[in-house]
Amino acid sequence: MKKDNMPQVARFWNDIAEEFDTIYTGRKGGFARFLDQWLRKDIYQRFDWVMERCGDVRGLRICDIGCGSGRFVTEFVKRGAAHVTGVDVAPEMLRLSKELVEKDGTADRCDFALADVLNWKTTQTFDITIAIGFWDYIQDPPERLRLIRQKTNQTFLSAWPRFWTWRMPVRKVRLQYIRGCPVYFFRRSQIEKMLRDSGFEVVRCDTVGKLFCVEARPI
Ligand SMILES: C[S@@+](CC[C@H](N)C(=O)[O-])C[C@H]1O[C@@H](n2cnc3c(N)ncnc32)[C@H](O)[C@@H]1O
């Protein structure tokens, strides 16, 4: 039986929620900002990739799985989405999300659920579903992919950390062995197979820094 790593994952993200959000806000010292721009460039690139692939979101219903501090959620609402739902296992991340949408005046068109997709009780479906910076922490994606498929009507966008980049051993040591948060990496063929087996057709798969960014649609 596969081990359930979610308590460790939730604890880790809860503890570093504010620190994570400074990657977006830049509220840190100049050298730390420089390091983010250099070493975490794909966090900005994947954001731009998602917005570009989503195109015109006016009137659409969107779900952000592993929404973190809500940066995608508020941006979708600003771009005219009808409603955006953010789902996350870390309460502190959801607190930051709610604070952000209040500040941005986007709160009336979004809601949040404290849950893992595996135990998220909802009958809602969405035009677009995204899961960005999420699969890194999932040992066995198929079950969650099948649940996401059931909730997705048009488009599913996901970002996956690539196997065998120089970042892989660094993250394994830093996150998993030092900080106790398990982290996983994926090959392109494996991602495409898991998506197909879950009922998606892969429309495109782009290499974005140390990630694969994948656009899929339900079959
Ligand atoms: C690297 S952050 C990414 C946040 C956001 N998607 C972004 O790119 O700005 C990963 C987030 O996924 C959440 N997460 C990890 N595993 C999860 C799961 N099984 N269900 C829901 N959220 C999860 C974490 O709590 C964390 O907030």
pLDDT of residue 170: 87
Average pLDDT over residues 80-93: 98
Q: Is residue 165 part of a domain?
A: yes
Q: Find the 200 Cα to ligand 1 centroid distance in Å.
A: 22
Q: Is residue 204 predicted with pLDDT exceeding 60? A: yes
Joined together, the tokens standing for residue 151 give 């909730």
pLDDT of residue 1: 41
Condensed to tens digits (0 to 9), the pLDDT of residues 44-80 reads 999 999 999 999 999 999 999 999 999 999 999 999 9
State the CATH number of the domain containing residue 193. 3.40.50.150
Q: Find the 141 Cα to ligand 1 centroid distance in Å.
A: 14
Joined together, the tokens standing for residue 18 give 């504010």
When mean pLDDT is compared across 144-153, 162-171, 202-211, the lowest value belongs to 162-171
> Which amino acid would we find at residue 72?
F
Number of domains present in the structure of the chain: 1
**129 is in which domain, residue-wise?**
6-218
Q: Is residue 211 part of a domain?
A: yes
Q: Cα–Cα distance between 205 and 188 in angstroms, integer? A: 8
What's the pTM value of the predicted model, to 2 decimals? 0.95
Condensed to tens digits (0 to 9), the pLDDT of residues 108-161 reads 999 999 999 999 999 999 999 999 999 999 999 999 999 999 999 999 999 999
The length of the chain, given as a count of residues: 219
Q: Find the 86 Cα to ligand 1 centroid distance in Å.
A: 10
Q: Which residue has the tokens 């079950």?
A: 143
DSSP for the chain, written as a single string: -----HHHHHHHHHHTHHHHHHHHH--S-HHHHHHHHHHTHHHHHHHHHHHHHH---TT-EEEEET-TTSHHHHHHHHTT-SEEEEEES-HHHHHHHHHHHHHHT-GGGEEEEES-GGG------EEEEEE-S-GGG-S-THHHHHHHHHHEEEEEEEEEEBTTSTHHHHHIIIIIIIT------B-HHHHHHHHHHTTEEEEEEEEETTEEEEEEEE-
Nearest ligand 1 atom to the CA of 117 is 20
Q: Is residue 207 part of a domain?
A: yes
Q: Is residue 1 part of a domain?
A: no
Nearest of 211, 215, 163 to residue 192 by alpha carbon: 215
Average pLDDT over residues 180-184: 91
> Which amino acid would we find at residue 62?
I
Residue whose CB lies within 8 A of the most ligand 1 atoms, among 45, 46, 88, for a mutation test: 88
